[in-house]
Amino acid sequence: MVSSNTNIPSHIAIVMDGNGRWAQIRHMPRGVGHAKGASIVRGLVEHCAQLGIKYLTLFAFSTENWNRPQDEVLTIMQLFIKYLEKELPNLTERGVRLKVIGDISSFDKELQERITNAVRSTSENTKIVLTLATNYGGRWDVVNAFLKWSEDNPSSNLATLSQEQLQKYLSTSDIPDPDLLIRTGGEQRISNFLLWQIAYTELYFTQVLWPEFDNNQIDLAIAWYKSRDRRFGNVRL
């Protein structure tokens, strides 16, 4: 369920868009933009934790991103490995629990092992949950949930399946739905991200490219969120 606290979001989800364009504007390779974008994550996580936000979900790599040029995909994979290697001690020190959602079976063995190790190593941390959505798609998530439900309930009639039952099989079943979704980079679409989970999420779009999305920008997004009247289908009183 979405948090009912309208003062500050409990869960923020972000589509981190604009890395490549940030680099191209500066006549640099797109990979430089991805590296710059990855470098701001630590500060953003720490700032959100200080504000009392309990869950932060970042769209790191979508199921559609495999269609990008091979060298760019390789760069992103290498950055993911470097991030896990470099940031694991900091995640533990800062009380960050790492969660990864998506089909990681498509990644090479080294990356899968690093993901598994990082998730296990931070599993007892309680300050903030950082979820990285990688090789993730909202449609994949719903279909995967249905398949898992079918495996667990082979003799059940499909007509008996409820929303509440299916939600338990989503990759985010152990965390609340986002209160606020932010997309950087100027585009105003969801791009197959958390399709089920954002049914009542407030959507915030900004022209700021991801490498320039600093703490001040997250504060502006939260200020906008606080101005929203969240009725969840009810009428205005």
φ, ψ dihedrals at 106, nearest 5°? -80, -10
Residue 229: CA count within 13 A, CB half-sphere: 5
> Among the options 5, 7, 17, 216, which is catalytic?
17
CA torsion 134→136→138→144, rounded to 10°?
A: -130
3-state DSSP call for residue 183? strand
Structure tokens at 169: 């099989």
Q: Is 141 a catalytic residue?
A: no
The H or E element spanning position 85 is helix 70-93
Q: What is the CA radius of gyration of the chain?
A: 18
> Among the options 5, 19, 65, 90, which is catalytic?
65
Neighbours of 81 (CB within 10 A): 15
The H or E element spanning position 97 is strand 96-101
Q: Residues with catalytic annotation?
A: 17, 65
